[in-house]
Amino acid sequence: MPIIADAIRWTLFPAMMAFAASSDLFTMTISNRVSLMLVGGFFVLAPITDMNAAETLLHVSAGCIVLVAGFGLFARGIIGGGDAKLAAAAALWLGFDHLLPYLLLASLLGGALSVGLIWFRMTPLPEWLARQAWIERLHGKDAGIPYGIALAAAALAVYPDTAWMTGLA
């Protein structure tokens, strides 16, 4: 496998997931660039690693299904648009083989994150923390949940078991 493929599979997905999680934590947004880089990286990596057309189509199908479901949740105000796109990009990389474990783990981590944030928001902030704009925003009772953290953590937990890391091709 060419060294460029190794560089992409070892760094791009983990780096973009870590960036998405930190971005959602600090700004409550996930840039479209993150999802676009993940999609682009997938389409560069798939042919380099000799992923066949049928398998590529299955990965694309997994991503599309999650994108449609995510935008349904977004339309109802349940998740943010960045979360929907990030989940779809992760599904593209993970494919159907790892989609259920990913979604289950993201749900569990998202629930734990939500409970933790409820507890955090019920606790008064010390003055030194209240001076941090991102912490004050996260502490706000009307603030959303930075669900990208759970999505990224679940993706990073599942990713080592994928063919990308266990030796596709």
DSSP state letters, the chain: --HHHHHIIIIIHHHHHHHHHHHHHHHS---HHHHHHHHHHHHHHHHHTT--HHHHHHHHHHHHHHHHHHHHHHHTTSS-HHHHHHHHHHHHHHHHHHHHHHHHHHHHHHHHHHHHHHHHHHSPPPHHHHTSHHHHHHH-TT----THHHHHHHHHHHGGGSHHHHT--
Position 168 scores a pLDDT of 47
Residues in the chain where the model's pLDDT stays below 70: 1, 167-169
Position 107 scores a pLDDT of 97
pTM for this entry: 0.92
Position 36 scores a pLDDT of 97
Q: Please write the tens of the pLDDT for every residue from 30-41.
A: 999 999 999 999
